[in-house]
């Protein structure tokens, strides 16, 4: 993990910190490649608690019936809450898509999500989730959720990321304002691949 966040990530992290004292549940919303996972790891480092990722859920489901994804998820998060006051969940949209698409229990995941949100509120604990699918936002399921959006990248973010992946001599020669003007929709994955090509 890098020692710092790029500017747009840092602004999002600062907004999240301002919301946490007043909100038990905070949702970080951003497009694919906007830096949500990196931000969540950074938040975990600074806030403590437990960070749950997709592979943690896959491990958890081995002990459950294939149609009991909702129960497996609820137990995984509740187990984390029993030991920690802060629980962070990455890639929530993947689980939401699976549980809301052509399954015999379509939509049932909304119940444990509401229960977990209410539990965090009642016990004054913190639940922070990251998602990139706007149709499957936690705030649509648990209305007390506060949404913090990662804004679109700016030229300064391009520069930060390029200096992370390029040799300093190459990075110093690039005009990031010009790159941004001609390709303003690049995400972190695309910028990284471009930098690897340049190197």
Please report, for the chain, the start and end positions of each structural domain, with discontinuous segments joined by +: 7-149, 155-198
| pLDDT > 80? residue 129 | yes
Q: Which CATH class is domain 7-149?
A: alpha beta
> What is the arithmetic mean of pLDDT over 36-59?
91
| pLDDT > 80? residue 185 | yes
Q: Could you tell me if 60 and 70 are in contact, meaning their C-beta atoms sit under 8 angstroms apart?
A: no
pLDDT in tens, 84-117: 999 999 988 877 777 666 666 666 788 899 999 9
> What is the arithmetic mean of pLDDT over 61-82?
84
β-bridge pairing 86-89 and 50-52: parallel
The pLDDT value recorded for residue 147 is 95
Q: What is the mean pLDDT of the chain?
A: 89
The pLDDT value recorded for residue 2 is 47
Angstrom CA distances, 151 to 19, 77, 143, 185, stand at 17, 28, 22, 12
The pLDDT value recorded for residue 101 is 64
Lowest mean pLDDT among 71-75, 85-89, 120-124, 169-173: 71-75
The pLDDT value recorded for residue 80 is 95
């Amino acid at each position: 993990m890098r020692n710092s966040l790029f500017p747009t990530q840092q602004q999002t992290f600062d907004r999240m910190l301002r919301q946490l004292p007043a909100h038990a549940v905070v949702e970080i919303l951003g497009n694919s490649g906007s830096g949500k996972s990196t931000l969540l790891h950074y938040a975990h480092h600074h806030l403590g608690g437990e960070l749950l990722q997709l592979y943690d859920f896959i491990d958890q489901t081995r002990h459950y019936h294939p149609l009991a994804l909702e129960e497996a998820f609820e137990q995984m998060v509740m187990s984390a809450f029993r030991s920690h006051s802060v629980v962070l969940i990455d890639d929530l949209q993947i689980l939401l898509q699976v549980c809301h698409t052509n399954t015999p229990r379509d939509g049932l995941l909304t119940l444990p999500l509401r229960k977990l949100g209410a539990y965090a509120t009642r016990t004054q604990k913190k639940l922070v989730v990251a998602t990139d699918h706007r149709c499957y936002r936690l705030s649509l399921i648990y209305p007390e959720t506060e949404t913090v959006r990662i804004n679109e990248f700016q030229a300064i973010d391009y520069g930060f990321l390029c200096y992370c992946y390029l040799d300093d001599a190459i990075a110093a020669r690039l005009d990031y304002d010009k790159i941004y003007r001609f390709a303003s929709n690049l995400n972190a994955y695309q910028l990284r691949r471009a930098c690897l090509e340049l190197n």
